[in-house]
Amino acid sequence: MHVTRAGEAREYHPPLHHGCTALRLQGLEAGPSDFAWVGLSHIAPGGGADMDAGPAGKIYVVLDGEVTVTLGGGETVTLGKLDSCYIPPNEAREVRNEGGVPASMIVVMPAPVVQS
């Protein structure tokens, strides 16, 4: 078992993100995981991630506040406490906290494939 205590989670800096603090809870530099990594994002009002797509799918779970997710095709949804969504691989998305209070969100993504 590998435990990451909340107070010991390390900050990381995802590209195109602003007004947010991202902490790695499991996987990658936070410890061993052969299938996924888990992050926790605290997003200030007005903060978020600019429109971008990546080769891996991702899951968002809102813990507190509200997060608005807009897809490249224009579809927009606002997620509240304990709402979640799955973004498929290569789907462009933008994430924003359009509310007046901070939002917190869990991010789950597959572990990178290691070539041998």
DSSP conformation letters of 76-97: EEEE-TT-EEEE-TT--EEEE-
Domain boundaries, the chain: 20-110
Phi/psi of residue 28, nearest 5 degrees = 50, -130
Domain 20-110, architecture per CATH: Sandwich (2.60)
Calpha distance 31→22 (Å, rounded): 16
- pLDDT, tens only, 31-85: 999 899 999 999 999 999 999 999 999 999 999 999 999 999 999 999 999 999 9
Residue 112: per-residue pLDDT = 83
Supply the pTM of this predicted model.
0.93
- pLDDT, tens only, 101-114: 999 999 999 998 66
